[in-house]
A and B are shown apart, each in its own frame.
Chain A
Amino acid sequence: MRTLPFFLICLAVGAVVFGAAVGLGNDYIFFAGYVVLQYVVLSTAWNILGGYCGYVNFGTAAFFALGAYSTVAIYKFISEHDLYRMPMPFLLLIGGAVSAVVGFGMGYLTLRLRGAFFAIATLALAVVLQTLVVNWDYVGGSRGAYVIRPEAFPLIGSYIRYLFLIMLLLAVAALTIARLIERSRLGYGFATIRDDELAAEASGVPTLRLKLIATTISGALMGMAGAPYPYYIGYLQPSSTFGLDYAVNSIAMPLIGGTTSWVGPLIGAILLGSLQQVATVTISSAANLLIVGLLLVDFVIIAPNGIVGLLRDRRTTSAALAEPPLFTLIYIINLLPMYFLMYQGGTAEWIALFFWAFLFFAALARGWAIDRRWLFLFPFFGALAAQAAIAYSSFSLTVISVCIHAVGVLCGLITNRRLADAPN
Chain B
Amino acid sequence: MPQTEHQPTSVATASLLEVDGVGKRFGGFVALENISLSVAPGERVGLIGPNGSGKSTLVNCICGTLRNEEGSVRFDGRPIDGLAAHQRTHLGLSRSFQLPRPFASLSLLDNVRIPRLYTVEARAHHSARQIEEHCHGLLREVGLEEKAHHLPRDLTQVEMRKLELARAMAAEPKLLIADEAMAGLTHSEIEDILTLLVRLNEQGVTIILIEHIMRAVMSFSRRLVVLVSGRKIADGPPEAVMRDPEVERAYLGQ
Contact = CB atoms under 8 A, between A and B. Distances in A.
B92 to A, nearest CB: 10
Given A188-B113, A189-B118, A196-B101, A204 B84 contact: no
A369 interface: no
B105 A189 contact: no
Given A195-B104, A195-B105, A201 B89 contact: yes
Interface string B103-140: 11110001001110111011000000000000000000
A203 B167 CA distance: 7
Contacts of A205: 86, 114, 118
> Chain B contact residues: over half helix, strand or loop, or mixed?
helix
Contact of B89 (A191, A195, A204, A208): A204
Nearest to B121: A185
B251 interface: no
A205 B88 CA distance: 11
A198 interface: yes
B232 interface: no
Given A188-B113, A195-B104, A196-B101, A202 B94 contact: yes
A399 B103 CA distance: 53
A195 B107 CA distance: 12
B84 A208 contact: yes
Residue of B90, B113, B115 ringed by the most chain A CB atoms within 10 A = B115
Interface string B62-100: 011100000000000000000011110110001101000
A192 interface: yes
B171 interface: yes
Given A192-B103, A202-B63, 7 more contacts: A188-B106, A191-B106, A199-B97, A202-B95, A203-B119, A203-B167, A205-B118
B102 interface: yes
B interface, size bucket: 20 to 34
A372 interface: no
Contact of A198 (B87, B101, B171): B101
B138 to A, nearest CB: 13
22 contacts: A188-B110, A188-B113, A191-B106, A191-B110, A196-B101, A198-B97, A199-B97, A199-B102, A201-B64, A201-B85, A202-B95, A202-B97, A203-B114, A203-B118, A203-B167, A203-B170, A203-B171, A204-B86, A204-B171, A205-B118, A206-B84, A208-B84
Interface residues of A, number: 20
Contact of B105 (A194, A198, A206, A207): A194
B106 to A, nearest CB: 6
Interface of A: 185, 188-189, 191-192, 194-196, 198-208, 260
A185 B117 contact: yes
Contacts of B171: 203-204
Top 7 nearest A-B pairs (CB, nearest first) are A201-B85, A204-B89, A203-B115, A204-B118, A199-B101, A195-B103, A204-B119
A196 B103 contact: yes
Nearest to A196: B101
Nearest to B119: A204
Nearest to B90: A204
Given A188-B113, A194-B105, A201 B118 contact: no
Given A189-B114, A203-B118, A204-B115, A196 B86 contact: no
A194 B105 CA distance: 9
A397 B114 CA distance: 62
Contacts of B90: 204
